Structure 1
Amino acid sequence: MTTADLAPLARAAAGGHRTLSAAARLTGGTSKGVYRLVHDDGSTAIAYVWSPQEDYWARPDTTDRPEPAAGLALFRSAHRRLTALGVRVPRILFLDADGTHLPACAAVVEDVAGPTLETALRDDPDRARPALERLARMLEAMRARTAPGHGGVTSVEEGGPAPDGVACARAVADRALADIDEVAARDPRARRARARLRDRIRELHGAVRPRPASSLVHGELGPDHVLLAADGEPVLIDIEDLGYCDAEREHAFLELRFGPWYDVLRAPGLDPDRLALHRLALHLSLVAGPLRLLDGDFPDPAPMREIAEFNLLRALDLAGGAGAGPRG
């Protein structure tokens, strides 16, 4: 969207006291547009825009993508839950749930001025270490927030389907089996290893024992989804996937994305059987997802190919190395 496109939304968010002078789409978003709004007085804000045109996952043959309005609803419920827990998220300045100011649902939030935690860990580890320790405390608060169910925040907290103690693990295993079939149709190495990968997922799922409750998880908490505020406090972004599942799902992702820094975030008492299932399922998801994106018009395909390749090799290794030979 252009500056002119976003001007009505910016004007409504600013209460008519400022004029939008520039807007730029920020990189990285795949399911919503993220824009920095710059006003004539130098102040800034961030606009989230949920529309099919901003969703690189949307394709003509896609039937399971949520409606754009659902993205805003998920954001609002996640924001409310995290704020109640004392987990810092960007402050909401304005919501347009009806598409009044854009042909899309949108939110305007504060522009957290600091770098991502990923950048700080690379460039300023002395500053990043206290933020990482604060993030660990936030994660513990989220892990302690439990519910007897599995799924999105609103559906679970309003009394979703009766839990059976393994619902999250079953959903993850089913998704992983579908990912295996999808990847096997695209890559000969996965095709050769398809039976072994499926057997390993079933084996790992079979080892999972029931648990009475699920924990609150971000779902995709890499260091690029944590901003540092001026006071050094971590601020979580891309929160729409917040929901209840195994804490091991969160920690499999943290372990992968934080690498050697994960030791600061490591939690005691995780179930090794669930963790093993979530690790393999995560790698499979990070092959199938990027390959799916590459079917569309994603503007920076090279990193997606690298992500898919790295995670395919890790998945094959976790499944016993079957099929890890040449591509052809």
Structure 2
Amino acid sequence: MRRSTEIEDMPGLLQDALGKGHRPVEVVRLRGGTRKGVYRVLVDGSRAASVIVYSWSDAENFWPAGREHASTDPFAPASGLSLFLTAQRTLSSLGVRAPEVLLVDDTQRRHPADVAVVEDIDGGTLEALLETDPTRAAAVVNELAGMLDVMHHHHSGRHGGVDVLRRGGTASGGSCEQRVFDGALRDVKEAARRDERIERAADALTDRLHELAGRVTPRTEYGLIHGELGPDHVLIDADGHPVLIDIEGLKYFDIEWEHVFLQIRFGEHYTAFSRRGLDQQRLDLYRLAMRLSLVTGPLRLLDGDFPHREGMQWIAEHNLKEALALLGRDVGR
């Protein structure tokens, strides 16, 4: 049975992060985390009414064992305190807002797992704001687009996770386009074992991936991308500014990968992010590969005991239909 973080785990953390006299009043696990626990802790004391605690406990990782990844793989599971800290420091150095870090501990003396205490950005998500106040949300989206311009124009001659590159490593898997292509081929095989519609279209999907990959020309400069930037991964601070979360996957990569994800997740609001000069051949390959990834990933997660199953089932089904639509295929059962 999985053990979530409880209120008795918190007193030492809070006193070290905020000072003596602060104690936890309530601990609430926030929905959505698949690799780490995210908790809002209500605090009795003078400095803060609440903080967020990230816990990288094995019990908080809902992904079942499966495909092995080298640690240098740009798409290796992005989870861990070191990845978070490197990403947070990298973004902060560029003036891109991420939650302020109040305390980190990898000794497991205060807490049974690697842990970070960060500020609580309690203005809600951009996803919610787009629904409730589109006018205010438009200003946040425009500011977010400017933040991404800063990131995407922060170039590196090497691609890979920021933590890997910081340690002098090199990304495995070949070029960006080769890694995406190889991953998409694996996704086709894996999804075909789980859904007969993908199984029926597997040859056509494979042929299409080969065709699209053959059109992409080499590149030697890469931008900094979040890697999974949907409106649910953007919080609004007290002054109405966007704050990036779930940043552990920060990497130097083809910015077209980010733009495809933005197109999918922001829909009609993507126009604020649209930029000239994107490589159409990469966009075409990455669009199909992204859809396949968003089928296989949720289906793998559903092999385990992830609790919020309906949402994952919807993501897999929606993207399966979109992937097949890119082939002009019937998406019925």
After TM superposition, the score normalised by the length of structure 2 is 0.92
Task: Give, in angstroms, the shift of residue 125 of structure 1.
Answer: 1.3
| From 236, 245, 254, the counterpart of 2:253 | 245
Task: Give, in angstroms, the shift of residue 195 of structure 1.
Answer: 0.9
Task: Tell me if 1:12 matches 2:20.
Answer: no
Task: Give, in angstroms, the shift of residue 157 of structure 1.
Answer: 4.5
Task: Tell me if 1:118 matches 2:127.
Answer: yes
- CA distance in 1 between partners of 2:109 and 2:293 (Å): 36
Task: Give, in angstroms, the shift of residue 326 of structure 1.
Answer: 3.9
Task: Tell me if 1:281 matches 2:289.
Answer: yes
- The SS at the match of 2:80 is helix
Task: Give, in angstroms, the shift of residue 5 of structure 1.
Answer: 2.2
Q: Are residues 65 and 238 of structure 1, via their aligned partners in 2, closer, same or farther at CA, if it must alter by over 3 Å? A: farther
Contact 1:49 1:105 in 2 (8 A): yes
Task: Give, in angstroms, the shift of residue 11 of structure 1.
Answer: 2.7
Task: Tell me if 1:97 matches 2:97.
Answer: no
Name the residue aligned to 1:86.
95
Q: Deviations over 1:293-325 (max 9, x none)?
A: 11111111111111111100111111342xx35
Q: Deviations over 1:21-66 (max 9, x none)?
A: 111100011110000011113710000000110011143x565497
- The SS at the match of 2:10 is helix
Q: Are residues 62 and 5 of structure 1, via their aligned partners in 2, closer, same or farther at CA, if it must alter by over 3 Å? A: farther
The alignment's C-alpha RMSD in Å is 2.1
- The SS at the match of 2:28 is strand
Q: Are residues 156 and 68 of structure 1, via their aligned partners in 2, closer, same or farther at CA, if it must alter by over 3 Å? A: closer
Name the residue aligned to 2:6.
2
| From 28, 38, 49, the counterpart of 1:43 | 49
Q: Deviations over 1:88-113 (max 9, x none)?
A: 00000000122221110010000012
Q: Aligned letter for 1:110? A: E
Name the residue aligned to 2:178.
170
| From 55, 60, 63, the counterpart of 2:61 | 55
Task: Tell me if 1:257 matches 2:261.
Answer: no
- The SS at the match of 1:49 is strand
Moved more, 43-52 or 6-15: 6-15
Name the residue aligned to 1:131.
140
Contact 1:252 1:278 in 2 (8 A): yes
In structure 1, runs of 5+ residues without a counterpart are none
Q: Percent identity?
A: 48
Moved more, 254-263 or 49-58: 49-58
Q: Deviations over 1:230-251 (max 9, x none)?
A: 1111000000000011100000
Contact 2:187 2:296 in 1 (8 A): yes
- The SS at the match of 2:283 is helix
- CA distance in 1 between partners of 2:34 and 2:79 (Å): 16
Match runs of 1:207-218 below 5 Å = 207-218=215-226
Contact 1:150 1:163 in 2 (8 A): no
Q: Aligned letter for 1:25? A: R
Contact 2:160 2:171 in 1 (8 A): no
Name the residue aligned to 1:27.
31
Q: Are residues 128 and 70 of structure 1, via their aligned partners in 2, closer, same or farther at CA, if it must alter by over 3 Å? A: closer
Name the residue aligned to 2:163.
154
- CA distance in 2 between partners of 1:19 and 1:179 (Å): 47
- The SS at the match of 1:193 is helix
- CA distance in 2 between partners of 1:252 and 1:326 (Å): 25
Contact 2:160 2:170 in 1 (8 A): no
In structure 2, runs of 5+ residues without a counterpart are none
Q: Are residues 58 and 11 of structure 1, via their aligned partners in 2, closer, same or farther at CA, if it must alter by over 3 Å? A: farther
- The SS at the match of 1:109 is strand
- CA distance in 2 between partners of 1:20 and 1:238 (Å): 24
Q: Aligned letter for 2:154? A: R
Contact 2:294 2:316 in 1 (8 A): yes
- CA distance in 2 between partners of 1:325 and 1:140 (Å): 36
Aligned length: 323
Q: Aligned letter for 1:108? A: V
- CA distance in 1 between partners of 2:77 and 2:270 (Å): 34
- CA distance in 2 between partners of 1:134 and 1:314 (Å): 29
Moved more, 168-177 or 64-73: 64-73
Task: Give, in angstroms, the shift of residue 158 of structure 1.
Answer: 4.7
Q: Deviations over 1:246-304 (max 9, x none)?
A: 10000000000001010011122110000111111111011001101111111111111
Q: Are residues 163 and 188 of structure 1, via their aligned partners in 2, closer, same or farther at CA, if it must alter by over 3 Å? A: closer
Task: Give, in angstroms, the shift of residue 9 of structure 1.
Answer: 2.1
Q: Aligned letter for 2:94? A: L
- CA distance in 2 between partners of 1:157 and 1:202 (Å): 33
